[in-house]
Amino acid sequence: MILDQLYTKCLAEATYYITSGKEAAIVDPLRETEPYLERLKNDGATLKYIFLTHFHADFVSGHVDLALKTGARIVLGPNATAAYEFHQAKDGEIFTLGDLKIKALHTPGHTMESTCYLLFTEKGEQHAIFTGDTLFIGDVGRPDLAVKSDLTTADLAGYLYESLRNKIMPLDDHIIVYPAHGAGSACGKNMSSETYDTLGSQKKLNYALDSKLSKTEFVNMTTEGLAEPPQYFPLNVAMNKAVNSTIDSILGSGTTALSPLEFQNLASQEDVLILDVRTPNDYAKGSVKNAWFIGLDGTFAPWVGALIEDIHQKIILIAPEGREAEAVTRMARVGYDNTLGYLSGGMAAWERAGFPVEKTGNISAQEFVDGIQLGEIKNPLDVRKTPEYDTKHIEDIALLPLDDIHKKLSSLQPQSTYHVHCAGGYRSMIFSSIAKSKGYLNMVNVEGGFGAIKKTNLKSLNLVSTSTIDL
């Protein structure tokens, strides 16, 4: 038996690859198919099953593409409906994979079709369970994402409580829990940085598996303090129930090399977004007017999903040389399939063609601190998340989280200059780029963000932990 966890850190997402003999199964695949096809070829294995623990709610799966290319059967849990052919597993149904057995355990709660898959060894012993978003390491899936007219968040939390107690907790303590997500995913509140653990350990450490917890207490704990889910979550759910563009066609369009003139012609169209996915420093040194920055070397896809409000948005790319396909693939993972191409030759070709270059202010953390102390910086702005700000921030600095930029940007003055920092300089450059594209032209990014600020000579500046103040 081969059992591999394929963990994609930038998405905090886990896919599982299992083989026995010459038969293979994949649990919760990502959008792209080529890595799985290559792995199957190298192992000389035939893909028999593609198990989906649920409709993900947070990313688009490539299960339909993968099934078409391999002939594998898609398996979903009870209650699932979709526009493509699949096998609807019954609770307790057994699937054979080589010498292994895989048992479907219907575990409604996070969503009503949520199903875990229990893996048995060749000897028939319980070995591992793929829990999707039913059970994370240190947490459980949030129960507010599949609310319907006849199902409240509390109803779903109640289902989740019963699923955990009746289906998961009675299993052997030694089995390994393999969840669909880890720390950083918006599908839970307090996930561990560990990506797997034994069930016995989780019974001791995970609050949701505390045997003394009443159903009412569980419902209260899992329904309180939930942040608003990213806007693309329900859109990804719909895509996972549908037949979408193939990843090959998406890559074919998205990796079209555009000359500077072709790029300019598209950039001038109102319905096309220019997305610069290089580094913050590269963007600051020069980009195309109105280009948004969301760098590949960060939590790229989640920020694309959170900030580009139209999932069908036409996008053209300014990308690091050789990473164009990576950018297109990572956007497709969250459903942004409409990339039209990239600037061939990058900004160097753009400049050679005589097109204007737009620069963004970028100062060091010490210059930022000195500027505040001298009274030269009038509008310092913190764009981290509220919990980060509440933990520690510069006294009297205003907060406008990047997540809220589309709702609250109008609270700023278009003619004023804002010096913007986040934790490390990534989110603040995103913030600055979007603000500039909307007419707030005097944005200055603080390199290194709050991490660098804390290492400066703060002198009279105080770092405090207080409640949010108004802009």
> For the chain, what are the domain ranges?
2-235, 245-358, 361-465
Same fold, 245-358 and 361-465: yes
Average pLDDT, the chain: 95
Among 140-144, 199-203, 357-361, which is the least confidently predicted range?
140-144
Please give the structure tokens belonging to residue 418: 């804002």
Q: Does domain 2-235 have CATH number 3.30.360.10?
A: no
Q: Is the pLDDT of residue 364 over 90?
A: yes
pLDDT band for position 180 (50/70/90)? very high
pLDDT band for position 387 (50/70/90)? confident
The pLDDT tens digits for 284-303 are 999 999 999 999 998 999 99
Q: Is the pLDDT of residue 424 over 80?
A: yes
For the segment 245-257, the average pLDDT, to the nearest whole number, is: 98
Q: What is the pLDDT of residue 458?
A: 83
Give strand ranges (E) for 294-377: 314-318, 339-343, 361-363
- Superfamily (CATH H level) for 245-358: Rhodanese-like domain (3.40.250.10)
The pLDDT tens digits for 429-465 are 999 999 999 999 999 999 999 999 999 988 778 899 8
For the segment 404-420, the average pLDDT, to the nearest whole number, is: 97
Q: Is the pLDDT of residue 105 over 90?
A: yes
DSSP 385: -
For the segment 125-150, the average pLDDT, to the nearest whole number, is: 93
Q: What is the pLDDT of residue 147?
A: 85
Q: Is the pLDDT of residue 312 over 80?
A: yes
Q: What is the pLDDT of residue 244?
A: 96
For the segment 325-340, the average pLDDT, to the nearest whole number, is: 97
Q: Is the pLDDT of residue 189 over 80?
A: no
pTM of the complete model: 0.92
Strand partners, 446: 363
Q: What is the pLDDT of residue 183?
A: 85
Decide which of 456 and 146 is more confident: 456
The pLDDT tens digits for 48-97 are 999 999 997 779 999 999 999 999 999 999 999 999 999 999 999 999 99
Q: What is the pLDDT of residue 227?
A: 79
**Percent of the chain residues topping a pLDDT of 70:** 99
Could you tell me which of 218, 320, 212, 317 has the C-alpha nearest to residue 272?
A: 317
For the segment 335-347, the average pLDDT, to the nearest whole number, is: 98
The pLDDT tens digits for 209-229 are 999 999 999 999 999 888 788
Q: What is the pLDDT of residue 186?
A: 78
Q: What is the pLDDT of residue 467?
A: 56
Angstrom distance (rounded) from CA 230 to CA 159: 23
Q: Is the pLDDT of residue 468 over 60?
A: no
Angstrom distance (rounded) from CA 373 to CA 389: 20
Q: Taking a C-beta distance cutoff of 8 angstroms, is the pair 244, 60 a contact?
A: yes
Instruction: Find the radius of gyration of the CA atoms of the chain.
Output: 24
pLDDT band for position 231 (50/70/90)? confident
Our CA dihedral for 227, 229, 231, 233, rounded to 10 degrees, sits at: 170
**Taking the CB of residue 229, how many other CB atoms lie within 10 A of it?**
16
Q: Taking a C-beta distance cutoff of 8 angstroms, is the pair 423, 450 a contact?
A: yes
CATH number, domain 361-465: 3.40.250.10
pLDDT band for position 187 (50/70/90)? confident
